[in-house]
Amino acid sequence: MKSLNIVVNGLPGNVASIIAGHALNDPRITLLPYSLTGPEIESDRHTIAGTVIELIKPADRDKKIDSLVKRYGEFISVDFTHPSAVNDNADFYCRCGLPFVMGTTGGDRKRLAQTVLDSSICAVIAPNMAKQIVGFQAMMEYAATTFPGIFKGYTLTVRESHQAGKADTSGTAKAMVSCFNRMGVDFSPEAIVKERDPTSQHELWGIPKAYLSGHGWHTYRLVSPDSTVVFEFQHNVNGREIYAEGTMDAVCYLDRKMKKGEKGRSFTMIDVLKA
């Protein structure tokens, strides 16, 4: 079976580097040695496991991507860039007919979905690529749909901690808040407590020093009106390896959808898991 071509955008970022490293070792996938990067990146090359990858600045991307399509044919773009680049990148992918997996959080998500809907391609858009966490989200979605209002009157607190370089509030935490809202809890995403200080993360949260530069710890705590009942849901991830396997599965899922002729559709990681 011929492997499918992908380009991982966002190098030399840490998450993009881990995703690219996994792609190099996945027999289903061929990593093309190119990556869209930000204008602030000074280097024009990045090496992963001996593979030299050319970094493409925004000013050069139209011309370069056109040459890649002519050389390699179809390929899937995997986006782990920066929240500020989400919508511009999606506009670019759709304009160029490049199906994509959007692992970057942030940006205008409604506009992002509409951009794909109006395009000739498909995309997998997910705030979290970790399959086990996505499965947990699916369980909460089921609860929100099946038992609306079950936590009415309860007070919710949400804490999330990520590495200092993560600019935006966790997309996973926001998605979970949406579920709790439908379960009757009055809570705004703006009330999510966002921790980015390494000292507090280690000394107050207990996050190991080895993972301060790459982690995702979330706690959702529900307290009954009279404070006699407490529910607490927690998922703590150290490192970024958990996201790579899900991303590779999302790439393969998207490839199958495109080969079936699907157009103008955005899929989630729940769709990927169900398949």
Catalytic option among 82, 131, 166, 257: 166
Residue 243 CA, chain-centre distance (Å), reads: 8
160, 234 contact by CB (below 8 A): no
Catalytic one among 46, 162, 174, 215? 162
CB 116 within 8 A of CB 125: yes
Q: What is the DSSP string of 175-205?
A: HHHHHHHHTT----GGG-EEE--HHHHHHTS
Say how far apart CA 235 and CA 243 lie, in whole Å: 14
Backbone angles phi, psi at 180, to 5 degrees: -65, -35
Query: CB burial class (10 A; 0-12, 13-18, 19+) of residue 150?
Result: middle
User: Which amino acid type is present at position 54?
Assistant: E
Query: Is 257 designated active site?
Result: no
On the question of a cis peptide bond just before residue 12, with omega within 30 degrees of 0, the verdict is yes
Question: Does the annotation mark 162 as catalytic?
Answer: yes
| Residue 49 identity (one-letter amino acid) | A
Active site residues: 162, 166
